């Protein structure tokens, strides 16, 4: 049985245009497919990944055009629905940014900051990204 | 009226959003026919490295063609072509010592190896200078 791993993701939108996804969410999904048992917490600016309907405009340079711009809400939803990875969002970090829960994709779990230490204690490995 | 614009880039490919911002600005400048001078410093010296290769994305369930993964070498080449098409010119200098450190000495055609002296010359000749540093 795999060690339970908690991934706290707080760096949002780093290189997502160039990579066409978030490299940490991608890594977690790929490891889950290899048999890992991951959980994700979105905190800081990364809570914005859960806002539904978002989408960055594709990059274009001269005649070169990007065809697969990232869709972070889709990728978070895929973690939940396709990879069976629990995804928590820190409530206070949403509130500080004026993001209402009604604006978010479905399937998320909400976590007050005070409950984060307890969630860490439930996991063998905690990674802060 | 066309201007001469100098840019210093520092971030390596695939590490930050700074380069996305840089390429959006460079694209806009090229479409307006400005003369563009780029000093690719530190990690940015790998932007024009020709051995970059796109990859499929198994997490997204996309093959190589479907993923159509961007490479900065293609963006650099497209920038040079766009500038020429619109009557401008790009002088793209890859910092030679940075290139050697990283082993990325094969450049997109039309870019060249250089040194901080080139950036100095760019700054002297430019109507405006924008440094986009690594933070």
Q: Would the pLDDT of A126 be above 90? A: yes
Among residues 50-89 of chain B, which lie with CB inside 8 Å of chain A?
A: 57-60, 62, 66-70, 72, 74-75, 77-79, 81-83, 85
Q: Is A129 part of the contact surface with chain B (CB cutoff 8 Å)?
A: no
Q: Is A29 part of the contact surface with chain B (CB cutoff 8 Å)?
A: yes
Nearest to A59 among B24, B59, B60 (CB): B24
Task: Output the pLDDT for position B127.
Answer: 97
* Percent over 70 (pLDDT), chain B: 100
Task: Output the pLDDT for position B125.
Answer: 95
A75 → chain B, closest CA residue: B60
Task: Output the pLDDT for position A55.
Answer: 86
> Given an 8 Å threshold on Cβ–Cβ distance, is B57 in contact with A21?
yes
What pTM was estimated for this model as a whole? 0.88
Task: Please compute the mean of the pLDDT values over residues B36-52 and round it to a whole number.
Answer: 97
Nearest CA to A53 among A80, A71, A66, A70?
A71
Task: Please compute the mean of the pLDDT values over residues B100-108 and round it to a whole number.
Answer: 97
For A32-79, what is each residue's pLDDT tens digit?
999 999 999 999 999 999 999 998 889 999 999 999 999 999 999 999
> Given an 8 Å threshold on Cβ–Cβ distance, is B70 in contact with A20?
yes
Q: Any idea what the Cα angle at residue B48 is, between residues B47 and B51, rounded to 5°? A: 100
Burial of B6 (0-12, 13-18, 19+ CB in 10 A): buried
């Amino acid at each position: 049985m795999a060690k339970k791993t908690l991934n706290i993701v707080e760096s949002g939108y780093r290189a997502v245009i160039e990579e066409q996804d978030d490299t940490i969410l991608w890594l977690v999904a790929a490891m889950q497919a290899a048999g890992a048992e991951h959980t994700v917490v979105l905190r800081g600016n990364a809570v914005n990944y859960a806002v539904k309907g978002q989408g960055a405009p594709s990059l274009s340079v001269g005649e070169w055009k990007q065809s697969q711009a990232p869709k972070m809400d889709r990728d978070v939803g895929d973690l939940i629905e396709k990879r069976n990875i629990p995804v928590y969002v820190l409530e206070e970090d949403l509130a500080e940014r004026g993001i209402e829960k009604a604006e978010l994709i479905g399937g998320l779990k909400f976590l007050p900051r005070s409950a984060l230490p307890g969630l860490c204690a439930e996991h063998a490995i905690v990674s802060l990204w | 009226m066309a201007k001469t614009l100098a840019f210093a880039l520092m971030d390596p490919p695939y590490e930050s959003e700074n380069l996305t911002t840089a390429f959006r600005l460079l694209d806009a400048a090229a479409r307006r026919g400005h003369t563009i001078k780029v000093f690719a410093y530190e990690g940015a010296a790998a932007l024009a490295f020709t051995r970059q290769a796109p990859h499929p994305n198994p997490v997204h369930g996309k093959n190589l063609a479907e993923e159509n993964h961007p490479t900065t070498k293609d963006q650099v080449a497209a920038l040079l072509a766009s500038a020429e098409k619109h009557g401008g010119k790009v002088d793209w200098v890859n910092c030679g010592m940075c290139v050697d450190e990283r082993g990325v000495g094969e450049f997109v055609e039309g870019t060249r190896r250089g040194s901080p002296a080139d950036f100095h010359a760019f700054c002297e000749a430019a109507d405006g200078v924008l440094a986009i540093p690594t933070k």
